[in-house]
Structure 1
Amino acid sequence: MMDMKRGRATRTNLRGGSAILLAVLAADAVFAQAVEEPVAVDTAPETALQGDAGGEAIVITGSRIPRPDVESNSPVNVIGEEEIQLTAANETEQILNSMPQFVAGFGSQSNNPGNGTATVNLRNLGTVRTLVLMNGRRIVGSGEDGVVDINMIPPALISRVDVVTGGASAVYGSDAMAGVVNFIMKDDFEGMEIGGSAGVSSRGDSARYNIDLTVGGNFADGRGNVVFYANYFDRAQTRGAARDHATLFLVDAVQNGQGVLVPGGNAVTPQGTIFSPSLVGLTDPFGNVIGPQGIFFAEEGWRAYRTSDGFNDRPFNNLQLPLERIQAAVLGHYEVTDDITFFWEGTYARTRVNSTLGALPMSSSGFIPGFQLDLRNPYLPDTLRDFLSVNLDADGNNLVPLNINRRVLESGPRTSDQTRDFWRAVVGLRGGLTDQLNWEVFFNHGENDLTDEQGGGVLIDNFAAMFLTDPNDPFSCANGDPDCVVINPFGRDALTQEMVDYYNVDLVNHTRVRQTQVGGTISGSLFSLPAGDVGIAVGAEYRKESARFQPDQLYVLGEAISRSAGLQPTGGSYDVTEVFGELYVPILADRPGFELLAFEGGIRFSDYSTAGSVLSYKLGGEYSPFRGLKFRGLYQRAVRAPNITELYSGATNTAPLATDFCNATPTRTAAERAFCLELGVPAALIDVFQQENVQIRAVTGGNPDLFEETSDTWSVGAVVRPDFIPNLQFTVDYYNIKITDAIALFGGGLQPTINACRGNLSLDNPFCVPLQTRTPDGQLQDVPLRNQNIAEITASGIDFRLDYRHGIGRYGELSYFIAGAYLFENETTSSPVLNPIDCAGFIGGGSCGSANPKWRFSQRLTWEFDAYQISLRHRFVGSARDGRIAAAISTGSAPPLLAVPRTPDVHYFDLSANVRVNDRFRFYGTVDNLFDRDPPFQLYERQTYDAIGRRFTVGFTANF
């Protein structure tokens, strides 16, 4: 009750704070105009190729040659400091999520899948193909795959974010196939700033609390500056039960020729089921025919399983993962001489995250080979004992072979309490080589340690032992262990605490990741031509990556199961030595029809200890016929060497959505029926066979024989800044990315492997071989899928952005931007024997992942008036169709009959306001998802669509 009162009080206070702030801003209309920098627009002069002797030149991501962002030949989107401030983000992922070039990665709403990290995924080409940098240098990954957890980047210290949406391997190396996200940090601060904020949803939950402290100052007569930063952030847990849209478990069905949604759930239930092929077709006490799902232990007694008996695990999953984070950072520089500056960056973060899944679904066929049910179990209903004895116990030994499925709800949910310690240190020197050339050398080292404590697990041998009864004492186990008690799996809430204590176990996994990078660069203007300065950047780098994952020994030995099963250690390392160079040559300038004509090129040679020597390069240029209009284009060859997970990972269990073609449906052919018998479906079940769950367990693992991926990226675009409309800027770019030899799971994943087998029903077809991994009752389980260079990915589309600001006299200033994207193609060919699947405009369905609508944009209108600012942001996510339709289009088959074949267009509106009370104090408030838009029902994933609803935030910053 106290928690409920506290939630209501918090919600009331935050709502009140937001309302008061907006009322104050609306009431005051008599102050003088205040002019601030535009949102995310860099208007640096075109002549700024060289920097000062300290190396302070403007370098925008996409090239190491100092140039203004809008003049870059790579399409670069810049998220400026004002946009970051208006977002009021305490989580770095929030800064990026509204950008249309990003498709959802892991984040605060990712629970399954999800691991507590926040990741970025450009162009839906995968998080492993998006390179994340801090001040142009790498950040150690959160796991063996090298993917960066952007929760480790202090939001309050971010000056701007540069996003290059295209291959950039020639500039920054491996991992930059989809693009680069470069966080530029504040490194020159004087004084002390304290900031705090609190947020809550309109339902009084999903709270967020944040406090920042920044202290900085100059020393040594201004030759140096040091900045200290500390942060505490806490994010509360929100479970699916808190939202109506997250509590229903509905499945597709066809009734009277129409697609409908019917109640469903996971077939492994807390009541438990038992199954044997010999039971199919028999009749239960209620006159129902027993089907392939077997016997269900209902309140009214044991009977045949029905689809509506499925377990709804949705309310138990997290909608918002709880997170606690402490961070600290120190950044600074010191001018050793007039020409040499020493600089350093140090960051530390400790995060604690808890993710929750429904209670463990135990299946004897998957984990207890040769399982037999002891009919002497004292909890077995007498009528069922007699029924099983007559039909299954031919030898009269009271042990009958069958499969028992039981979700051990009494053990509680499967939890994952993760503690992650991250630190990174950079030291370096930079200076002026000549008046036009700068140099820099640096050393960068980072480490990430993760301890994952998993609860809700089961000791497999103990669980199995509880089913065998001591003939002399039916409540004691046959193994003689005094702690072992015979289990009662027949019905919901039937397990006592004594039973749970015997089989329950917690497991602990450890991950350690290390990264070391050493590099040096010379950049600036080499010499001058009549058309301008020739820009150059050359350098060399050495990098070593190492990682080790050590699962709990009970996982390794196959003696326990929790969120995974049969995990094996992963360990490995690789290093790479690289040299690179870039050149920018202005050819013509200031001539009729040639305001500027220039060429740009770059090349990088990389020698990997694993993949060998690879070459990446770029060629492009720009043409401006007159001032205010520029055309730009670039071709880039990018490469990505396999990471440690892809090379060396041990066996890992996953549970993807997939449909077995052996299911006895009207569309199953006679050839498929016959082949399914070869694959291991029992003859007694072949005409009634149905898979138990929509998710099928697969086993993934590394492959040390992998080689590099290769991509070709084309981009052409235009930049418009007309003189006759001051403060207007428009950019538009077309891109086309094609990745060959892409690393993917065998066959491209479980469903594509099933599809590839279906196209050639033969055990000589390599895609059919893994589908022989089945339980005795024919269920696909632990299908082996190792990594291969087997896929091809193509993405193409158009990005556009318009920025404009305009003074409105004594009423202040308006600024506006719209950033959008239109997706032509996002096509994946999972294996050479399959047709490509184009997921542009689709979501989920086993073939397409995160929502990938054709249209997506974000726009913001901001009014600034003296010390006041009000801003409204509109985020648009276009309609997306079910991915099962994309799969049908790929094969030329009829699309499935679905009750919800597509999502609607989704609009989110966010309101923010700032008031600067004086030079030292600022107060702000935000209302995200202003109109409380629910996610589209049935078809959604939680990072693209808001699962929480309307949220209020109030905060302040104070400077001293």
Structure 2
Amino acid sequence: MTEYKGKTLKAGLMASTASVLAAMAFTTAGAYAQESQDAEAEFEEVVVTGSRIPRKDLIANSPVNVISSEEIAVGAFVEVDRVLDSLPQTASSNGPTTNNPGNGQANVNLRNLGTQRTLVLLNGRRMVGTGANGVVDLNNIPPALVKQVEVVTGGASAVYGSDAMAGVVNFILKDDFEGVQVNGQYGLSQEGDSERYNVDFTMGGNFADGRGNVVIYGNYLKRAQTLAGDRDFAAVQLDEFLDDNGNPIFLPGGSSSIPQGRFSGSGGFNFLVDDNGNPVAYDGSQHAYNFAPVNNLQLPLDRVSVSALGNYQITEGINMFAEMMYANNRIEAQLAATPFSEANVDIDLRNPYMSTALRNLFATRDTDGDQVVQLTINRRMLEAGPRLNIDNNKMHRYVLGFNGDLDNGMNWEVFYNYGKAEQTQRQDGNIVISRFRAGMMVDPNDPTQCLNPDNGCVVLNPFGEGNMTEEMINYLKIAATNVTIVSQQQVGATIAGSLIELPAGDLGFAAGVEYRKEKAETQPDTFLATGDVDGFNAGQPTKGDFDVKEVYLETVIPILSGVAGAEYLGIEAGIRFSDYSTAGGVTSYKIGGEWRPFADLKFRGLYQRAVRAPNVNELFLGASNSFPGGTDFCNATSDRTAAERDFCLQLGVPADQIDTFQQQDAQIEVLLGGNPDLYEETSTTWSVGAIVTPEAVPGLTVTVDYYSIVVDDAIAALGGGLQGTLDACNQVLDLNDKYCQALSTRRADGQLEKVPLLNENIARFTAKGVDFSAAYNFDALGGNFDLRVLGTRFLEGVTQGSPFVEANDCVGLIGVRTICGRANPKWAFNTRLTYSIEDFTASVRHRYIGGVTDERVAFGTKPREETLVPEIPAVNYFDLGLRYALSENLSLFTNVDNVFNKKAPIMGRGVAGQLNTDAGTYDVVGRRFTFGFRANF
């Protein structure tokens, strides 16, 4: 650092970077207490995330949580998403233990409003997204290089622009490191699996008589694969049934696409083939395929990353800074073998592999005598092996900028930020639909040969488990390669500081301009693009771009200071105008303030209007398929009305099946796609809170904040999703209605397929609650204790997929694959107690996840008495960390996560999906041990 006129300007000043003191304000409470006791002391002016104006007050008016490098070190975290687990404001999202859905990327989801509504910054500037949706993969940020993480929850678009509707996560890197540091650690579970290997190397030093500094960093992480079959609770897919007495029970269940092959058609025709090739009536409760054991419980990851940061004082008032980052993440997802499922498949009765009994059964449907029948085939292609999805994600990021001080005390900065992400995805295990169909038709003159010999056609034997030969599989199986390239360019200039001195203090001011361009392109494999595969989801190419020009202003105005009843009273305000090439001009703003009646107490409040422009994926996504859960109102249930029955005939349910019709699978294929006519989302956020730093209890800080976030015109699939579309149509039962038109895409047997659900500005979300924290640092027992508590009481979490469906409050509920998503407990908090004495440190973390109720019970769609697990009780996890410094340059540490080996709660499949639990919220690996060292040279 270099002194300028009594103020400290950090070398390489980052527009949104706070000092270490800001971290201490939260992690130890000591810094803020000292600041209160000695208000006249000379403090370093810092920029706290949530504002661009440097100030001496270390606690902003926006609720800001800070995770220090000490927290990262004590927890032995090698994945950034695990670092953020210490914040109850973050909802669980797809990560290392969510295999389906999920691709191994690590994302952050503040307030459970969606990962696309949380803005991720690195040193105050944007990170490039990994996909066309713009969502940042946190695997690209190695924790050992992080100085601290600052998290602002609530809309922050006026300060940082689009995407900051739920809040901002700002990762601040070590940019002034001196020396050489090597960290190494190894971890595994109590079962001897789920291994993690991690090595970090950091080297830095000053040059040019201290005018410059360079830091170079390297990291290698290997996370081993763990299969669901390696844990008792996940090895068998459980389905919920009623016993003979009407009581709910769990029994082995699974998929209706079975290895034996299932052949079905109209009139209740539904048979599988036994080991002798004979037909057997299909019974879903007995014959379902257990897909669970070969699914990943922990996704394997190989990460290599290299970073370099530098700054140099060119002159007394001008500094140059630069950043370079490269990361390569290889992630492998594994699912059960392809569930081949196609309707209206022509099956030639002359197929030589067909038993006489099966041929005679099929012949009963050959009404025209041409030796060909049409049936629906559902067959699990075990012979092709599991489906593998191997992603190689490369990320490059480069920043170059200049900053400094003006003679009037203002700070300035200009920068250029370029990021590029390249994803090469290789899929293995897909089955080509057209080839399967061709393999079912034989040459009448030589039934051992295909009717059409193109592509080396081989006559297939899907009649029974294990009957597909290697030759048949080689003909059917195809490896697909998809490529996604995303680029981001950002140019910005900021001026900030104290504009003039008012009687109550300095008038803070910040102004800036930015230009940003986002481009994304996804080129799927030819087979996937044509939809000619079963296995992984197919999709059309996606290509698009947009740019935005922005200008913003921000001010902090002191009104009173040092008078009775107002130790300080001031307001802050900000506004940003953004001109998007797609959404047009949008405006976001904030206004709020603070009042400190006396030194021990501060009140704060903020009202913000935030916006989020649609991303490339939402605008230009080529049609892709997905398989969400949904319940077709055409099902012949006791409560189906006559009007519904008649309308379902119009939708395409065959008349000879209408009175017995039942959807075959809980998951229904839908087609998702972009909409270039989308406009911006808007949100209204306000928060009010208090900070207490009692002089009578040095080292104590207590905060409490109420927040309310309402997102309108949210971008979502038609109807807010499949079930929302079904519900919307069910309200009107009109073929002219767009929701009902989407449900007319039915097969000949009446089953829904390829339901088009393109994006619309149609949804609404609400998040309300109370955040609280307490930090107390004190000396006792010959050492130092540091106690921190972070908590949230969720009051409201409303999801409304469209104006035509009911708004559902998901607080205290769990849904996973349906309305409410993963667990949304009313209470969530984390507590860490750390004791340090001389060279020894011990730390205990307690994570509390409140109890939740099955959403089906809460919403009345499933009777409580028919639900085996209507509620999941609160879950408590305890983690232990021990560290001992053998010398000034070498320390050893060990950690035990989930000390008491708390098992993941089991719940009904209708809620949990796969793995019989909510793998994104609860610990599915079990007790884990970590051993490591840190060496400085």
Q: Distance in 1 between matches of 2:479 and 2:289?
A: 24
Contact 1:270 1:409 in 2 (8 A): yes
One-letter amino acid matched to 2:338: L
Q: Distance in 2 between matches of 1:149 and 1:472?
A: 57
Of residues 280, 305, 314, the one that matches 1:336 is 314
Quote how far apart the aligned CAs of 1:481 are: 4.8
Of residues 99, 115, 118, the one that matches 1:111 is 99
One-letter amino acid matched to 2:807: P
Structure 1 SS opposite 2:738: coil
One-letter amino acid matched to 1:422: M
Quote how far apart the aligned CAs of 1:320 are: 0.7
Structure-2 residue corresponding to 1:20 = none
Structure-2 residue corresponding to 1:732 = 704
Structure-2 residue corresponding to 1:313 = 291
Q: Distance in 2 between matches of 1:72 and 1:48?
A: 16
Quote how far apart the aligned CAs of 1:886 are: 4.4
Alignment of 1:386 onto 2:363: no
Structure 2 SS opposite 1:124: coil
Q: Distance in 1 between matches of 2:637 and 2:661?
A: 9
Structure-1 residue corresponding to 2:273 = 297
Q: Distance in 1 between matches of 2:455 and 2:589?
A: 69
Structure-1 residue corresponding to 2:52 = 64
Of residues 641, 655, 662, the one that matches 1:683 is 655
Q: Distance in 1 between matches of 2:74 and 2:291?
A: 37
The 5-angstrom pairing of residues 110-259 of structure 1 reads 110-255=98-243, 256-259=245-248
Contact 2:864 2:870 in 1 (8 A): no
Structure-2 residue corresponding to 1:12 = none
Quote how far apart the aligned CAs of 1:482 are: 8.7
One-letter amino acid matched to 2:793: Y
Quote how far apart the aligned CAs of 1:537 are: 1.1
Structure-1 residue corresponding to 2:4 = none
Alignment of 1:609 onto 2:598: no
Contact 2:181 2:201 in 1 (8 A): yes
Structure-2 residue corresponding to 1:876 = 848
Structure 2 SS opposite 1:440: strand
**Residues 332-365 of structure 1, C-alpha deviations (whole Å, 9 max, x = no match):** 1000011111001110001111101111111221
**Residues 168-221 of structure 1, C-alpha deviations (whole Å, 9 max, x = no match):** 000000000000000011100111111100000000000000001111110001
Q: Distance in 1 between matches of 2:550 and 2:326?
A: 28
Structure-2 residue corresponding to 1:936 = 905
Q: Distance in 1 between matches of 2:361 and 2:313?
A: 88
Q: Distance in 2 between matches of 1:333 and 1:592?
A: 45
Quote how far apart the aligned CAs of 1:50 are: 13
Structure-1 residue corresponding to 2:257 = 268
Contact 1:50 1:66 in 2 (8 A): no
Alignment of 1:752 onto 2:724: yes
Alignment of 1:823 onto 2:797: no
The 5-angstrom pairing of residues 401-412 of structure 1 reads 401-412=374-385
Contact 1:48 1:66 in 2 (8 A): no
Q: Distance in 1 between matches of 2:231 and 2:188?
A: 15
Q: Distance in 1 between matches of 2:808 and 2:255?
A: 28
Structure 1 509/937 Cα, relative in aligned 2: closer, same or farther at 3 Å?
same
**Residues 645-664 of structure 1, C-alpha deviations (whole Å, 9 max, x = no match):** 00000001111111112222
Structure-1 residue corresponding to 2:813 = 842
Contact 2:28 2:777 in 1 (8 A): no
User: Identity of aligned pairs, percent?
Assistant: 51
Structure 1 480/37 Cα, relative in aligned 2: closer, same or farther at 3 Å?
closer
One-letter amino acid matched to 1:818: V
**Residues 203-247 of structure 1, C-alpha deviations (whole Å, 9 max, x = no match):** 000000000111111000110000000111101011111111112
Structure 1 SS opposite 2:726: helix
**Residues 77-96 of structure 1, C-alpha deviations (whole Å, 9 max, x = no match):** 11112111111111111100
**Residues 26-65 of structure 1, C-alpha deviations (whole Å, 9 max, x = no match):** xxxxxxxxxx99836472547999999xxx8421111111
One-letter amino acid matched to 2:281: A
Structure 1 151/251 Cα, relative in aligned 2: closer, same or farther at 3 Å?
same
Structure-2 residue corresponding to 1:773 = 745
Structure 1 379/796 Cα, relative in aligned 2: closer, same or farther at 3 Å?
same
Q: Distance in 1 between matches of 2:214 and 2:408?
A: 27
Quote how far apart the aligned CAs of 1:274 are: 0.4
One-letter amino acid matched to 1:759: Q
The 5-angstrom pairing of residues 463-542 of structure 1 reads 463-481=436-454, 483-542=456-515
Contact 1:872 1:909 in 2 (8 A): yes
Deviates further, 153-162 or 938-947? 938-947
**Residues 67-120 of structure 1, C-alpha deviations (whole Å, 9 max, x = no match):** 367521101111112111111111111100231001112211121111221100
Contact 1:581 1:603 in 2 (8 A): yes
**Residues 932-952 of structure 1, C-alpha deviations (whole Å, 9 max, x = no match):** 111110243212111111110
Quote how far apart the aligned CAs of 1:894 are: 6.7
Provide the TM-score with structure 1 as the length reference: 0.91
Structure 2 SS opposite 1:767: helix
Structure 2 SS opposite 1:71: coil
Contact 2:334 2:388 in 1 (8 A): yes
Of residues 318, 323, 331, the one that matches 1:353 is 331
Post-superposition, which runs of at least 4 consecutive aligned residues in structure 1 deviate over 6 A? Answer: 46-52, 893-896
Structure 2: gaps of 5 or more residues: 1-23
Alignment of 1:947 onto 2:924: yes
One-letter amino acid matched to 2:933: F
Quote how far apart the aligned CAs of 1:535 are: 1.2
Q: Distance in 1 between matches of 2:430 and 2:356?
A: 31
Structure-2 residue corresponding to 1:5 = none
Q: Distance in 1 between matches of 2:378 and 2:40?
A: 68
Q: Distance in 2 between matches of 1:155 and 1:335?
A: 28
Contact 2:399 2:415 in 1 (8 A): yes
**Residues 784-831 of structure 1, C-alpha deviations (whole Å, 9 max, x = no match):** 00000011111100000000011015x211111110001111102211
Of residues 552, 555, 573, the one that matches 1:580 is 552
Q: Distance in 1 between matches of 2:455 and 2:123?
A: 62
Q: Distance in 2 between matches of 1:297 and 1:128?
A: 46
Structure-2 residue corresponding to 1:913 = 882
Structure-2 residue corresponding to 1:326 = 304
Q: Distance in 1 between matches of 2:314 and 2:40?
A: 25
Structure 1 378/131 Cα, relative in aligned 2: closer, same or farther at 3 Å?
same
One-letter amino acid matched to 1:658: G
Quote how far apart the aligned CAs of 1:529 are: 1.8
Alignment of 1:833 onto 2:811: no
Provide the TM-score with structure 2 as the length reference: 0.94
Quote how far apart the aligned CAs of 1:679 are: 1.3
**Residues 589-640 of structure 1, C-alpha deviations (whole Å, 9 max, x = no match):** 1111111111110110111111111110001011111111011100000011
Contact 1:847 1:887 in 2 (8 A): no
Contact 1:69 1:76 in 2 (8 A): no
One-letter amino acid matched to 2:335: L
Q: Distance in 1 between matches of 2:859 and 2:409?
A: 56
> Cα RMSD between the aligned structures?
1.9
One-letter amino acid matched to 2:87: M
Contact 1:42 1:69 in 2 (8 A): no
The 5-angstrom pairing of residues 25-104 of structure 1 reads 39=27, 41=29, 43=31, 45=35, 57-67=45-55, 71-104=59-92
Contact 1:49 1:535 in 2 (8 A): no
Quote how far apart the aligned CAs of 1:765 are: 2.8
